Each structure stands twice: as C-alpha cells, then as structure tokens.
Structure 1
Amino acid sequence: MGRHHADEVHDGEVHEHDRGLSYDLPVLARRRMIRLMAGASLVPLVGCTSQDGTSSSSASSAKGSASSSASSSAACATIPDETAGPFPGDGSNGVNVLKESGVVRSDIRKSFGDSAGGTAEGVPLTVTLTVVDAASGCGTPKKGAAVYIWHCDRAGDYSLYSEGVTDENYLRGVQETDDKGQVTFRSIFPGCYAGRWPHIHFEVYGSLADATAATSITSTSQLAFPKDVCDTVYASDGYDESVRNLAGLSLETDGIFSDGYDQQLAETKGSAAEGYTATLTVPV
C-alpha cells in the first residue's frame, strides 16, 4: 500500500510536507523489506507500545535457541525512517538552529539566543527517548549518541517558520544520550494541525559533535501519541483548534503512520493537570 504524506496547513496556506516521491520510495522499500524479514506472526517490536500504552514483549524472550535468536534478530528492526517535514530547522530547509549556542538543552519550552525570547504554553510534557543498537538485538544502549527533537506548539505552529513565531526557536533542542542511551526533554504537549496526527519529530546522530554540526544523521523519525491522551489534553485551554483538527484524523489514515505505528506510538502517562510523560525506545 503506497504512502501519501499529508500536506502541512498553516494560516490557510498549504505547505509541502515531504520531500517528494523520490524521497519516500526508498523508505517504503526498506520498511516493506523489514516486514518481510520479520514475518506476520511476530509480536510488536522491542520498546514499542500498543494503542493502550502498554509495553510490548521482546521477541528475545521466546524459548528456543536457534529459532529464538532468529526471531529476536528479525524483530529488532530499526526505527522506521520518516520525512523530517518542511520545518526541521537543521539546515536542510532554510534556517539551521543546530549550530546556535544554546540548542543543547533539556528544557525546550523557551526560546534562546538572539530570538524573541518567547515561551511555548501548554500542558507539560516530559519526553524520554532510549536509543539502542538494533544490530545487537536492541539490548545495547547507544551511549554518546545525540538526539534532536522538534515539534509544533499548541496552536500547531513551528518556531522559525510559521507566521508570528519566525523569531522564536522554542520546542527545539539537542541532547547527548547517557549510559542508558537516554535523553529527556521538558516540553509541552503539541497541538494537532490540519492533516497530521499529533507527533514529535526527531533525528538521531552518532555523536553530539555531529548533531551540532548538523551532519551525518543516523535516523530521522516521528513519535505518535495515543488518541485517548490527545482527547484529554485537547480539552484544555488553548487547544481549541486541535479538537476540530483531530476529529477528522486517525493513526490508520495519517500520511506518515498509516503503514504501521507500533514502533512509534509512545507510552504516555499522566494527566492534563499534572502533565504527561512520553517514553519510546529508538533502535538504530
């Protein structure tokens, strides 16, 4: 089944969401090959979450030696490659925030540097990504890698690009993975804009030096949120447009997640009053 990436819509203007068919076809071929290798009977992949937010079981826990090893190797697929979209801020489409002093940070709610100094308001969200080595069966954390994340604000706008926030660089940040392969960012729950399921973009780099030089990307993907959590968050002040936009969407019809989202659906816990945590394992 082919993939049709949705267009990004801001202030009545439609923006091209992806890099075109020539970019998508290699991604499709790679992901279909992964499915052929894994087989239809395999359980969800390591570190993935199901629709209800519970962690899936690792194929490596299956009994048997040779058959178990083969299943584990096949099940530990790399995180699906996705488009970075039109607003990456990594130098590939205009501005490059990665080379700015201050981008390496854990709290990404405020703008930094010579920008306007605004703060993104919304329901608090703490995002933890665990980067692991897929080649070793997802059991080895990738210490010393780096992750760059970015996402829209509660109005559905992207700093550096969207009208009214071009002078801001909030909701963007880089961190180096620790001994557990983890990075944690403090942010706000992103809004839902027309045509796309609520998500967070991220890029994985081999090192912090690579990330801040905006070179040698290891993986580009997106994190998705469960519908029940989105419904609860969007009942909060400031998310009015998100309620309307989400009503016409589903994970199954989203232009990015429609071909499978098990590896990208974050385990999300908390409340709108106290804030949420979102966790995802990222095999690379």
Structure 2
Amino acid sequence: MGDDERTHHQGLQQDLRLLATRTDRRQLLRWMAFTSLIPLVGCGGEDTGGGDASGCSKIPEETAGPYPGDGSNGANALVLSGIVRSDLRSSIAGASGVAQGVPLTITLTLVDSTDGCTPLAGHAIYLWHCDRAGLYSMYSSGVTQENYLRGVQETDSEGRVTFTSIFPACYSGRWPHIHFEVYPSLGAATSSGNKLATSQLALPEAVCDEVFATTGYSQSVRNLGQISLASDNVFRDGASSQLASVTGNTSDGYVATLVVGITT
C-alpha cells in the first residue's frame, strides 16, 4: 500500500450470523441498514457511494501517512486534553483555529469480520483528515499550531462512532479520503503502538464534485481531475470495502457511513 475498510428469538447478533451464511454480502448489508446497525441518517439527497458493499470482510490495512498525529513521528494529538470528542471542527488544548467547509458527519460501524459481523463495543477509533485547503493540522505550514479535524470516540453497544467534521479537500496526488486507527479501548488510544488496525475511507466522486463546486474548494476541482480511485496509490488495488455511502447536499451537509471489519 502507498501513502496516505464486519433464531430471531436469540437476538440481533444471532440473526446476523445466520444471514452471513445464507445471503451474499450485499443482501446482508441491506438487511443491516434496515435494522439500524448501520445508521443512515440522511440530510436529503440521494445515497451515493459503496459503503454498504463492504460486508463483514476485513478492511484493508493502510499506511497512516506522514501526518498521523499519533505519536509515531513526533506529534501526538492522542494525549491532548479534549481529544475524546465528537465535533472535530475546532482546535483544542489552547489552540483556537476552526476548520471551515461543507459539514460532514462520519459514522463508522466497527464489527468483527471473523465472527458474523458482531459489533465491537468499547473499542476506540481515532479519526483525522485534511481541511478544505488540503492542510493537516499539527504538520502543514500555517496550521502547525492547530489540532482541528482530529478526534477519538469510543464505540457504543452497536460498534458505532460518529464524528461531526467538514468535507476534506482533494490535494495533489491523492483521492479525497479520511484516515482512522482502531484501538482496543479508550485507555489504549494514547499511542500508535497500541492500535489494532489502520485504514482509510474514500469519498464518492459524485459527492466530491458537488462539494468542490462550493466556495473554498476551488483547488480541489483541479486536483480531482488529475486523480482517480484506480490511480490513487492507496485505493488502486480495490476500494470496495473503503468507499463510504454518502447522503446529503451542500446546503444541509452530508453524512458518510462505513462498516469497518477487523479481526480480534
């Protein structure tokens, strides 16, 4: 991978295990969506993307890239006061910057890919991405003192975490994406040495086109025109389990959902 995605009287988990053996992945995920294991909280507009095609397969392991902020290369957002949060748009711990852009809600559902899509509660997910100018807080020139668009959440009883953020840019050489790491618990989410998995979420092209036509994203139009999922150095070997399902519009914002299968 280059630089910079799981009898009715015995409960939902048993139903999922049975369905996993009796149906194909697309049918299974469609059923899961209707039972709200995968929250599709729309903002209007059509669903665009392939997040519901990921099934319970293990999400590919990817590089954290050069801007992880997880302590692996110096900067460590994981030890900052306030890093456990759902709204990522503002900086914390004494920094005051606020990331501007089209609103994006990101919901990941963590499941055990070897145990019939069993939701993994009590784990932690650290998520980060660039701003609408393609800059990474803590690293990029002009925002080294900021730490916005980074945060940690604990998975709930259904394996879910939800972050409020902004739609990231497309910067030169990379398809629009979001990074995340999975940890066994909140307590362990303080250093990259404790992580269970690292991967990236890809955003659908049609939605990117809509967002990048709005104010502040002009450079992303050009950059997106020079890259594709097939040529991206992370997603070119297949992004079916990493391509999020996205609903919404530029006025109300978007919601991206993805099932993240890992082995435990």
- TM-score tier, shorter chain, comes to 0.7 to 0.9
Whether 1:165 aligns to 2:157 is: no
Q: Give the partner amino acid of 1:225.
A: L
List alignment gaps of at least 5 residues for structure 1.
6-16, 19-41, 59-74
Q: Match of 1:87?
A: 67
Q: What per-residue deviation string (whole Å, max 9, x for no partner) do you get for residues 30-88 of structure 1?
A: xxxxxxxxxxxx7669759xx95256468xxxxxxxxxxxxxxxx73211000000000
SS of the residue corresponding to residue 98 of structure 2 reads coil
Structure 2 CA distance for aligned equivalents of residues 45 and 160 of structure 1: 42
2:69–2:77: 8 Å Cα contact kept in structure 1? yes
Whether 1:123 aligns to 2:102 is: yes
1:215 Cα offset (Å): 3.6
Q: Give the partner amino acid of 1:244.
A: R
SS of the residue corresponding to residue 63 of structure 2 reads coil
List alignment gaps of at least 5 residues for structure 2.
5-23, 31-46
Q: Match of 2:127?
A: 149
- Segments of 4+ moved more than 6 angstroms: none
Q: Match of 1:197?
A: 175
Go from structure 1 to structure 2 and tell me whether the alpha carbon gap of 1:171 and 1:266 turns closer, same or farther (over 3 Å shift). same
1:182 Cα offset (Å): 0.2
Q: What per-residue deviation string (whole Å, max 9, x for no partner) do you get for residues 161-211 of structure 1?
A: 000000000000000000010000000000000000000000000100011
2:51–2:259: 8 Å Cα contact kept in structure 1? no
Q: Match of 1:268?
A: 246
Q: Match of 1:114?
A: 94
1:125–1:278: 8 Å Cα contact kept in structure 2? yes
Q: Match of 2:208?
A: 230
Structure 1 CA distance for aligned equivalents of residues 27 and 90 of structure 2: 35
Aligned-residue Cα RMSD (Å) equals: 2.2
TM, length-normalised to structure 1:
0.76
Q: Give the partner amino acid of 2:68.
A: P
Amino-acid identity (%) = 58
Structure 1 CA distance for aligned equivalents of residues 28 and 65 of structure 2: 26
- Correspondences of 1:1-284 after superposition (within 5 Å): 5=2, 17=3, 52-53=48-49, 56=52, 76-115=56-95, 117-138=96-117, 140-284=118-262
1:45–1:76: 8 Å Cα contact kept in structure 2? no
Higher RCO (CA < 8 A, seq sep 6+): 2
2:56–2:111: 8 Å Cα contact kept in structure 1? no
SS of the residue corresponding to residue 183 of structure 1 reads strand
Q: Give the partner amino acid of 2:156.
A: D
Go from structure 1 to structure 2 and tell me whether the alpha carbon gap of 1:218 and 1:45 turns closer, same or farther (over 3 Å shift). farther
1:46–1:57: 8 Å Cα contact kept in structure 2? no
Q: Match of 2:35?
A: none
Structure 2 CA distance for aligned equivalents of residues 266 and 77 of structure 1: 15
Structure 2 CA distance for aligned equivalents of residues 100 and 45 of structure 1: 42
Go from structure 1 to structure 2 and tell me whether the alpha carbon gap of 1:123 and 1:81 turns closer, same or farther (over 3 Å shift). same
Aligned residues: 228
